[in-house]
């Protein structure tokens, strides 16, 4: 395959390495993630979608994702460097001009994201049980969730590149020493992370409130769950991507 995170030259490519543009994009991704979680919560777990009991047989969800990505690739989805496929080896090679450092450009942790989603997130947002009918709609909502989460987390590559360019003297010693802990410390700003968690919780309260004539204070997805998702999963995985990118930045 060709480099998976290369795009045409021009203003759009430049914007991907603009920290303020990236920050705005990350805030917008919060909306996409929350709305996709609300949509997924409409359906029960529908565990048949994820069944891999047959030897070496992929689950229905895996087949749905792979086939959907093949169609979306034909429409040009993966020419956008923010997009990372869950089954990239099933897609044709892409030819672009590089934006990120070549060694780190194709970092893809979607297998980790998918595992977290299936084993940790779905049981928290979906009711127990199986409705025996809405499998396609459930799979479509799963894919929307996964793609929104993947896009947000893999923005870490672009953030890491911008931060390195802005302060190479701060990052180079830790990169040369392969000091993951040191890099993680440089990338961690607890006040910023707390602000993000509070913002997504407030958004979930606004976007997901059940509208009734009599106020009942119920939500389609628990706002504190969205905050927990960011604090325990989205932010740590984004920083994981940043560290892995920076470790390859001088290769």
Query: Which residue ranges form the domains of the chain, and what is each CATH number?
Result: 6-247 (1.10.590.10)
Report if pTM > 0.85: yes
Q: Which of 103, 101, 104, 68 is nearest to 87 (CA)?
A: 68
pLDDT for the residue numbered 79? 86
Q: How far is CA 135 from CA 29, 147, 175, 241, in A?
A: 26, 18, 46, 32
pLDDT band at residue 213, thresholds of 50, 70 and 90?
Answer: low
Measured CA to CA, the distance from residue 190 to residue 197 in angstroms comes to 11
pLDDT of residue 52: 79
- What pLDDT, on a 0 to 100 scale, did the predictor assign at position 25? 94
Render pLDDT for 7-63 as a digit per residue (tens, 0 to 9). 344 556 677 888 899 999 999 999 999 999 999 999 999 999 999 775 567 899 999
119 contact partners, CB below 8 Å, separation of at least 6: none
C-alpha–C-alpha distance, residues 75 and 2, integer Å? 18
* Predicted local confidence at residue 215, as pLDDT: 63
Q: Where are the alpha helices (DSSP H) in the chain?
A: 11-15, 19-40, 60-74, 102-105, 110-116, 122-125, 135-166, 168-176, 180-187, 190-207, 223-229, 235-247
What are the beta bridge partners of residue 7?
Answer: 97
Q: Return contacts of 188-197, CB within 8 angstroms, 24+ apart.
A: 188/239, 193/231, 193/235, 196/30, 196/230, 196/235, 197/227, 197/230, 197/231, 197/235
Q: Report the pLDDT value the prediction gives residue 16, as an integer from 0 to 100.
A: 81
- Examine the pLDDT at 184 and tell me if it is beyond 80: yes
Q: Is the pLDDT of residue 96 over 70?
A: no
pLDDT-based confidence at 3, cuts 50/70/90? very low
The answer for 27, left when phi > 0, alpha when psi is -120 to 50, beta otherwise, is alpha
Assign 137 a pLDDT band (cuts: 50, 70, 90): very high
Whether pLDDT at 176 is above 90: yes
pLDDT on residue 54: 59
Mean pLDDT of the chain: 91
């Amino acid at each position: 395959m060709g480099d998976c995170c290369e795009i045409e030259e021009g203003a759009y490519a430049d914007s991907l390495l603009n920290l303020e543009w990236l920050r705005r994009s990350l805030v917008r991704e919060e909306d996409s993630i929350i709305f996709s979680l609300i949509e997924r919560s409409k359906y029960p777990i529908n565990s048949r979608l994820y069944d891999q009991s047959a030897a070496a047989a992929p689950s229905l969800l895996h087949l749905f994702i792979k086939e959907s990505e093949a169609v979306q690739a034909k429409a040009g989805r993966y020419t956008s460097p923010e997009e990372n496929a869950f089954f990239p080896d099933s897609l044709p090679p892409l030819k672009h001009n590089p934006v990120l450092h070549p060694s780190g450009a194709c970092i893809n942790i979607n297998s980790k994201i998918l595992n977290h989603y299936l084993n940790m997130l779905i049981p928290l947002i979906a009711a127990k049980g199986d409705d025996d009918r809405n499998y396609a709609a459930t799979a479509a909502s799963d894919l929307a969730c996964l793609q929104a989460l993947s896009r947000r987390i893999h923005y870490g590559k672009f953030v890491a590149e911008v931060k390195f360019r802005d302060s190479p003297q701060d990052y180079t010693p830790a990169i040369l020493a392969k000091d993951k802990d040191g890099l993680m410390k440089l990338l961690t700003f607890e006040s910023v992370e707390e602000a993000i968690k509070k913002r997504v919780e407030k958004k979930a309260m606004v976007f997901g409130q059940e509208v009734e004539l009599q106020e009942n204070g119920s939500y389609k997805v628990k706002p504190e769950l969205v905050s927990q998702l960011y604090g325990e999963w989205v932010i740590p995985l984004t920083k994981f991507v940043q560290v892995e990118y920076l470790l390859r930045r001088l290769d």
